[in-house]
Each structure stands twice: as structure tokens, then as C-alpha cells.
Amino acid sequence: MTDSFQSRIDLEMTINGEAVELTVPAGRHLIDVLRHDLGLTGSHVGCEHGVCGACTILVDDSTVRGCLTLAAQLQGCEVWTIEGLTEKGVIADLQKAFVERNALQCGYCTPGMLASAKALVEAEGVPSRETIREHMSGNYCRCTGYEAIVDAIETVARQRADETGARSRAGETVAKARAGARS
């Protein structure tokens, strides 16, 4: 091997909010580092070529395929898996809705589904069912038939929009009161 190329890579990144230092084989996938090296087995592996979505996780706030990402590519990045997202409570409402709507059976697809759905429920407004299906098209579920998953995501998107609406209405009242106080 020539000098510039390395077979093992030293990395620093943040995983679920914790700073981590690692030395990994250059060809090691992010998903294998998480599952095998760090014991974070919540993220799953299905097809290993980007098709099924079971390995979907968050890197720097965007969804990525853990099976199509080498750990070496992520120097300095921030990674969140289902373990960290659960602990932080940021998708607690989605998880509750999945349980209530029976949007999982074997659960194999669920961590990837939740990572993909997170971006959608965080966007402004309430997506149509068609938009939800389009957005979730990269995540296979072999059990549920999808209907319940769409229901759960729609429910949470609506709840969050109502809360934001209520907050901004409250904000408006405060702003009006302030404006009134000035005049």
C-alpha cells in the first residue's frame, strides 16, 4: 500500500451525544461499528445494499443508510441511533403512536421507520397521506401493510402542528400585548 492510504482509520465523532474515539478498519460500515463494536443493536441490517431502510439512522440531523456509509467517512460527525433518540425523548410521541396504532409487528423495520418519520413530523404543517407514503417509500415493512404506519405518522404530525399552532397563537398574544404596551 502506498503511503497516503490507510487500512485503519482513527476517528472522533459524537454518538448519541457522547464523544467517541475509535480506530476502525477502513472498510468498516457505520452500521457494523454501531452494532458490533459499540453494542448499539437497535439499528438493524436487512439487505446491506440500500434498498430496505432497516439501517436508517441520523448523521448530522439527516437520515442516512448505515449500510452505505463507511465509518471512515464520518470524522467529526454527530450520529444518533434509536437508543439515543429514545433516551432523549425526542420521538416519544411517535413511538407511542406506533404502539397505539399497532404500527409494528416483528419490529425489525421500526428503528429505521422512526428515523425516517422523524424528519417528516419535524417539518412544518401536516403532510398528506400521499406525502407520508412517498417520504417513507425507502423503508420496507414485511408485516404491517403500511396503513398503520401511515396512520401513526399522520397522527403525530397533526398533534405537533396543533401544538405549534397553539404555541404561536400564544406567542402572538404575547407579541400583541407587548406591542400594545409600547403604544
Q: Which residues bind other proteins (CB under 8 A)?
A: 1-7, 9, 26-27, 29, 32, 48-50, 53, 56, 62-65, 67-70, 72-73, 75, 116, 119, 133-135, 137-139
How far apart (Å, rounded) are the C-alpha atoms in residues 13 and 28? 15
* In the complex, least distance from residue 72 CB atom to ligand FAD, rounded to whole angstroms: 13
Chosen from ligand FES, ligand FAD, other proteins, none, partner binding at 73 (C-beta under 5 to 8 Å by type): other proteins
Question: Contact at 8 Å (CB) between 80 and 16?
Answer: yes
Helix axes 92-100, 110-122, angle to 10 degrees: 120
CA angle 31, 82, 18 (to 5 degrees): 80
Indicate the residue among 135 and 158 with the shorter CB distance to other proteins: 135
Indicate the residue among 51 and 92 with the shorter CB distance to ligand FAD: 51
- E strand or H helix at 114, and its extent? helix 110-122
Length of the chain: 183
Identify the residue among 10, 12, 27, 50 touching ligand FAD (CB under 6 A).
Answer: 50
Chosen from other proteins, ligand FES, ligand FAD, none, partner binding at 23 (C-beta under 5 to 8 Å by type): none
